[in-house]
Structure 1
Amino acid sequence: DKLLKLAGLDRSEVYITNVMKCYLPENKASEDEIEACTPYLDKQIEVIQPRIIVALGNVATEYLFKKFGLKRQSMGKIHGKIYKVSSLILQAEIIPMYHPASALRNPPLRSVLMEDWRRLGEHLREKSR
């Protein structure tokens, strides 16, 4: 919720979901597990029609980039950048960011993550003008 506040958002204003729809004991999804769960994510995206998708972490980013034909690079190069995507069912912006849990494992990422959320807030304010 603190990161949402940095962007000027309240949890009630956003829809939060995961690529993985089940608990993973070791927190590491196989390609088969991801493939089994993504149809549910696709349906959520189709129903909700988000204008902005903040992809938190590598699993979400890799899936969405592949789905929309974007070239995947390291998170260090793409985090916080805006990628416009368009398909028959969706026109949106994808903004990849480090997953908040990564900042717990790698404390220097905390300031990067916070800055990305601040910039997201600025982007949202610009779009609402």
Structure 2
Amino acid sequence: MDANQRSRANPFGMDEECRNCPALCETRTNVVHGYGDVGADFLFVGERPTATADELGAPFAAPGGADDAAGTSLRRMLERVGLCDATSPPERPRVENVYLTNLTRCRDPDRRPTDEEVDTCEPYLNAEIRMINPEILVPVGERALEELGEEYTTTPAEKLSLPETHATTIRGRGFELVPMIEPREQTDDQTQAWLEHFVELMASDYRQTKGRQER
């Protein structure tokens, strides 16, 4: 699978007409595959597309303007740490060194994904992680932390929970995890704590020895 970095939207050319989950085919607007820099050090993983992401076809898309107060969306947080251009459109944010994706690619507006749907989408996520080979995985929300923690760390499951691990670094197998409470559920203090921790991480020697070429 080759990347097409001329497009940050679905750069690995994954199936945009996927029908592996028939129930979700009836409720989705778009199949929302990953978006961003295929050479990214930082890979953010949510549970499912937001309502705006389903409409626009880009992960973590937020409506912007008065409907998206500062600090309440992942995009605004990325802007604050200098990884997203604040002037770029919501459906095509200009992110650098960042890749955005979800456990599942389709949205049911009335419920969260089932375990079967997460398992069905797992090959998409696994392919993205394998191809990008990031340094830092950021699970956004409890479900993403559960799935990534089980796969990529040796930390006991009972110690992988939010809000306890929010704005901390967890050593993984080939990656480090920096969990985050879902942005719209964060208090101002929790948002500030995560931003400060992440800025400190970005300034550190976070790159691990995995055979990656230097940027």
Q: Aligned letter for 1:124?
A: M
Q: 1:85 is matched with which residue: 172, 176, 179? A: 172
**Which deviates the most, 4-13 or 53-62?**
4-13
- Classify the secondary structure of the residue corresponding to 1:126: coil
1:38 paired residue number? 122
Q: 2:148 is matched with which residue: 61, 64, 69? A: 64
Larger radius of gyration: 2
User: Please, which runs of 5 or more residues in structure 2 have no aligned partner?
Assistant: 1-74, 85-94, 207-215
Q: 1:39-70 CA distances to partner (integer Å, 9 max, x unpaired)?
A: 21111000000001111101111100111243
1:114 paired residue number? 192
Deviation (angstroms), 1:79: 1.1
Q: Report the TM-score, using the length of structure 1 for normalisation.
A: 0.81
Q: Aligned letter for 2:182?
A: H
Judging by fraction of residues, say which structure has more helix.
Answer: 1
Deviation (angstroms), 1:29: 1.2
Task: State the superposition RMSD in angstroms.
Answer: 1.7
| Cα pair distance change 1:5/1:127, threshold 3 Å | farther
Q: Aligned letter for 2:145?
A: T
Separation in 2, partners of 1:27, 1:126: 39
Q: 1:5 is matched with which residue: 69, 79, 82? A: 79
Q: Report the TM-score, using the length of structure 2 for normalisation.
A: 0.51
Deviation (angstroms), 1:16: 0.6
**Which deviates the most, 112-121 or 65-74?**
65-74
Percent identity over the alignment? 25
- RCO comparison, higher one (Cα < 8 Å, 6+): 1
Deviation (angstroms), 1:127: 2.2
Separation in 2, partners of 1:39, 1:114: 34
| Cα pair distance change 1:111/1:27, threshold 3 Å | farther
| Cα pair distance change 1:114/1:26, threshold 3 Å | farther
Q: 1:96 is matched with which residue: 176, 179, 183? A: 179
